[in-house]
Structure 1
Amino acid sequence: MATIVSYTARPRRITQALLLLAAVAIGVTAYALVWLGRFDELPPGLVEHAVGALVVAVVLQAVVMWRAPYADPVILPLVVLLNLLGIAVIASVDSARILYQDRSSAVADRQMLWAGLGVILCAALLVALRDHRWLRRYTWIAAVTGAVLLLTPLVPGLGSSRYGSKIWISIAGNSFQPAELAKICFAVFFAGYLVSRRDTLALAGPKVLGIRLPRWADFGPILVAWAFAMAVLVFETDLGTSIMFFGLFVAMLYVATDRLSWLVIGAVLFLPPAVIAATQMSHVRTRLTCWLDPLSSENFDRCGQINAGLFGLANGGITGAGLGEGRPNVVPFAESDFIFSALAEELGLVGAFALLLLYLLLVERAFRAAVGISDGFGTLLAAGLGFVIALQVFVVIGGVTRVIPLTGLTLPFLAAGGSSLVCNWIIAGILVRLSDAARRPAARQVPGAPSPAPAGGSPAEAIA
């Protein structure tokens, strides 16, 4: 008879509760400091804001204790802190518009409403999704849904064009960016597809110049992913979204196969269309020009947004002007595309690096869950979602700081935008579920003992 030795993993729910309280305290304090710095008074509705943030922390703590008791204790506090800091910075932009431009602005209030909806969906996902492997059943449904969402802005009368990109849909006066939800669907599809074919993708194919190339039969999926990315680039003129989707697929291919050749193939496939877009599409060409030389006399006016963002970064210095002491209203779209510039102006280089550290910790926790999960589908899904967050942070901050051209993506959990915030909260819920699977204690067999007969027939075992 096999001898089974069990081990006990620590749930660390007290740690999570303390971290959530710390996140709420920091976020609410930042919100109060904005109005103290701008108007020398506490903001209206501060008590309601604090109570709402505390309710969010209690709800998340209770749901995790109920449905995912072994989840990573750091993921949700990081997300709550990023969300609350984002609301504080958006409130600073609102207050600056009130003070210096004499016009009302309630973007922060709307962001609070979207945050509440995101938290509700995150909690509902944790309650409904008891095992992440259920998602593998819907691999192809997720693919079709993601493709439909991605191409929906091209439907006449439904899609709307803004600032050169056609990535929005308008329904009953409300706008939504379907690509944010599509990235979750594609992450599920890529994980389900690659886990069933990774042996073939990793081992088969000819070797040319030291790089193992895929077989033609296996090259089809990457061509399809490339075609969708190019469709977004050409027809929606959205370089950021096309980079995000194609980069997600290539990165998950690399994780699944551990073959460097996929990264090389992905770069080779993406480079020519990107060059064509930069030379033939006026919207993309303008962004490239503003990346290369925004401060020249001939480019200064049309590159006003990135120049204002650079001046804001410079005004922040090392320690920042202080919350509520900057002029983020000078930067166009400081609450969304350029929120990093607004934050760096008021919190300085120290605050900017602290923000990067928060994102780094969040991505690291996603990758830690990917390493700890025993099934390939969960590994690929956690790695893919972690990569999406990392890529968005790099692309957005790289664009603001002129490391790369501007792309139009938003910082996860921080920037204003309902569709982005809600979908990122859904990603947070999936990561919590995956981390619970990675850290959940299990019976461990003594080496040399025969394997015990499997207990029958749970749906999760059938999927695995």
Structure 2
Amino acid sequence: MSSTTNTSTQHTSTIGAIGAPSRRNTELALLAFAVVIPVFAYANVGLAINDEVPTGLLGYGLGMGLLAGIGHVVVRRFAAYADPLLLPLATLLNGLGLVFIWRLDQSERLQNLAENAFGAFTPSAPKQLLFSALGLALFVVVVIFLKDHRILQRYTYISMAVALVLLVLPLVPGLGDDTFGAKIWIRIPGVGTIQPGEFAKIILAIFFSGYLMVKRDALALASRRFMGLYLPRGRDLGPIITIWAVSLLILIFENDLGSSLLFFGMFVIMLYVATERT
């Protein structure tokens, strides 16, 4: 009995000393796949278009690996217990996005050569790679200086207002830029065009999460039956439904249906995660 108790106590103290696994090595392994897959895609595009491996393959792979490595080191140092899937998923999506843009660049270059439009081609992929580096820099700043994400809950309604302003900006005359029928860009002199809706997505996610954190119990428990469904009280669900609907309407007027679908999905998923109710 004494031996069993000592063994149990020793086992418990060992677990307490070690703590929960950080899963950073899992993240590192996933990052390796997240870099290798876009590199193979890059090579595949080059072989499909020019029947040869692209000359910039090595540089692309090293660049992606360097960015992923920096992100991993920062997470390992400042957010050791973060979810190990988020950084690899972001790296994979970013890498595949760069491959798609490079594929479009090659098609445009071949079209210009066929039309003898020399000097009119400006590749977009290098600029997107620069944006990837800037995005990583912003990620590093957030991870290092935002020690506790719960601080953002203080700015729930401020986030809502800022997000709506960003969504409306492309509709402002003289500021919005109509590209291929979609009014989702704004033109800033000396900088170029940016898409404020991309920032609004992040800020609206902060609003949704902050609001649902406070109201999730009321949304999950206090409900009334309507047409066979149990729905939350209007005063609890009303504000978030209103902001979601306004966001969708703005995006529909801007002909940005892809973002509208993304907003709808984000809203439904976060509502389900908060309430655990189908």
TM over 0.5: yes
Say if 2:248 and 2:260, in contact at 8 Å, map to a contact too. Answer: yes
1:233 and 1:24 mapped to 2: Cα distance? 33
Residue from 168, 175, 187 that aligns with 2:185: 168
The equivalent residue for 2:103 is 92
Give the partner amino acid of 1:156: P
What are the within-5 Å matches in structure 2 for residues 295-374 of structure 1?
A: none
Deviation at 1:96, TM superposition (A): 3.0
Deviation at 1:247, TM superposition (A): 4.4
1:84 and 1:108 mapped to 2: Cα distance? 11
Residue from 214, 231, 235 that aligns with 1:217: 235
The equivalent residue for 1:203 is 221
The equivalent residue for 1:192 is 210
Q: TM-score, normalised on structure 1?
A: 0.50
Q: What's the secondary structure of 2:142's corresponding residue?
A: helix
Give yes or no for the alignment of 1:43 onto 2:61: no
Residue from 55, 64, 67 that aligns with 2:66: 55
Q: What's the secondary structure of 1:206's corresponding residue?
A: strand
Deviation at 1:80, TM superposition (A): 2.0
1:251 and 1:11 mapped to 2: Cα distance? 26
Q: 1:66-103 deviations in whole A, cap 9, x for unaligned?
A: 11223333432333233223323332332233235416
1:220 and 1:151 mapped to 2: Cα distance? 21
2:20 and 2:248 mapped to 1: Cα distance? 46
Q: 1:265-303 deviations in whole A, cap 9, x for unaligned?
A: xxxxxxxxxxxxxxxxxxxxxxxxxxxxxxxxxxxxxxx
The equivalent residue for 2:5 is none
Deviation at 1:133, TM superposition (A): 1.2
Matched positions, count: 258
Q: TM-score, normalised on structure 2?
A: 0.78
The equivalent residue for 2:157 is 140
Say if 1:232 and 1:241, in contact at 8 Å, map to a contact too. Answer: no
Say if 1:229 and 1:243, in contact at 8 Å, map to a contact too. Answer: no
1:95 and 1:165 mapped to 2: Cα distance? 24
1:158 and 1:97 mapped to 2: Cα distance? 28
User: Which structure is higher in helix share?
Assistant: 2
Give yes or no for the alignment of 1:20 onto 2:38: no
Deviation at 1:195, TM superposition (A): 1.8
Deviation at 1:40, TM superposition (A): 4.3
Q: 1:336-373 deviations in whole A, cap 9, x for unaligned?
A: xxxxxxxxxxxxxxxxxxxxxxxxxxxxxxxxxxxxxx
Give the partner amino acid of 1:106: P
Call closer, same or farther: CA 1:90–1:215 in 2, change over 3 Å.
closer
The equivalent residue for 2:4 is none
Deviation at 1:189, TM superposition (A): 0.9
Identity within the alignment, %: 46
The equivalent residue for 1:351 is none
Call closer, same or farther: CA 1:8–1:111 in 2, change over 3 Å.
same
Call closer, same or farther: CA 1:250–1:19 in 2, change over 3 Å.
closer
Unmatched 5+ stretches in structure 2: 1-8
Say if 2:74 and 2:140, in contact at 8 Å, map to a contact too. Answer: yes
What is the Cα-based RMSD across aligned positions, in Å?
A: 2.8
Deviation at 1:63, TM superposition (A): 0.6
Give the partner amino acid of 2:233: R
Residue from 258, 266, 270 that aligns with 1:240: 258
> Larger relative CO (CA 8 A, sep 6+): 1 or 2?
1
